[in-house]
Amino acid sequence: MNDTAQLVQYILTGITVGAIYALVGLGYNIIYNVTEVINFAQGEFVVLGGLVMVFMTNTLHLSLPVGFFLTVSVVTILGALMDKLTIEPIKDANVLTLIIITIAVSIIFRGLAMLIWGRDPYALPAFSKAPPFTLFHAIIQPQALWVLGITTIVVILLSLFFRFTMMGKAMLACADSPEASRLMGIPVKKMVLISFVLSAAIGAVAGIVITPISLMEYDRGALLGLKGFGASILGGLGSFSGAVIAGLILGLIESLCAGYVSSGYKDAIALIVLLLVLFVKPSGFFAGKRASLKKF
């Protein structure tokens, strides 16, 4: 493998991983946009997506589309339950209390996943049977294209939803001022529920598409969540396009660092970037004017 091929290889790996960080970051942003809560169980949704899909395809031998649909449904229901059982019942909770609750929920999810699936990593077959192909002498897994394609679709659908539908705009209004939203007749609790459902669904999708490439085990959530959080902070909390760009950048930095420096430092990179952003520009680099009007 020559130098160019190597570079292309690193870049492609980075973009693929970055797309997953972007999806996790989007999950954070949806819930944040409605509630101003950072849901630290977001990474757990990804893990559950991967592991439930393993159950659907490897244990139940369901076909890919059916398994995909059922997995997303199951994780979505878990997301809805999380809101109904742990977020909604808390009366007059401030944002910080709710954030700590999400950390508790993430620990519960992780524990349950360990009890059910054990500590071993699981693999999934790739979506398409096509063999890897080469581009500039670099080897590309077709699954990487699935990851990128599905991420793109999710991002487009989300942007359209929040920009053009009454429901989407009402969700943003809830984050802005729950009280004013209620005065407009917007059912705030329902909007929060929808945000958890959407985030869980997106997390599940991320887990399903990445597992064939990088395997999945019960305790991946924390690190995935942290890197996704890095993406959403770097992109400016709440900004969808920001999270996508930042996720890809984070993935690229990580992959290039693993390739040219040492793979041992790969996980540290995301954290260093996160810290730097928080020191230098906590409102993120790709956020619009909207971010400056937010409370924090």
Partner 1 sequence: MLFLRSVHTYYDSIHALKGISLHVKEGEIVTLIGANGAGKTTLLKTICGLIKPRKGSIQFYGEDITNLPAESIVRRGISLVPEGRMVFSTLSVEANLEMGAFSRRKDKNQMKRDIKNLTSRFPILKERMNQLAGTLSGGEQQILAICRALMAHPKLLIFDEPSMGLSPILTKEIFKVIVGLRKEGRTILLVEQNARAALQIADRGYVLETGKIILEGDTEYLLNHKEIQRAYLGKGYREVWEE
What is the nearest approach in angstroms of partner 1 to the Cβ of residue 197? 19
Three-state DSSP state, 216: strand
Please list the residues that pair with 139 across neighbouring strands.
134
Q: At what angle do helices 240-260 and 3-35 cross, to 10 degrees?
A: 150
H helices of 59-141, where? 64-82, 95-117
What is the nearest approach in angstroms of partner 1 to the Cβ of residue 34? 12
In one-letter notation, the amino acid at residue 234 is L
With respect to partner 1, which residue has the nearer C-beta, 120 or 179?
179
What is the nearest approach in angstroms of partner 1 to the Cβ of residue 232? 16
Total residues in contact with partner 1, by rule CB under 8 A: 21
Q: Is 148 in the site for partner 1 (CB under 8 A)?
A: no
Site string (172-211) toward partner 1, x via CB under 8 A:
xx-xxx-xxxxxxxxx------------------------
Residues 228-247 that bind partner 1 (CB under 8 A): none
Residues 65-124 that bind partner 1 (CB under 8 A): none
Could you tell me which of 197, 189, 196 has the C-alpha nearest to residue 170? 189
With respect to partner 1, which residue has the nearer C-beta, 183 or 280?
183
80, 87 Cβ separation under 8 angstroms? no
With respect to partner 1, which residue has the nearer C-beta, 96 or 184?
184
Residues 6+ apart with CB under 8 A from 60: 67
How far lies 107's CA from each of 113, 196, 222, in Å? 10, 17, 9
With respect to partner 1, which residue has the nearer C-beta, 119 or 295?
295
By the criterion CB under 8 A, which residues form the site for partner 1? 166, 169-170, 172-173, 175-177, 179-187, 289-290, 293-294
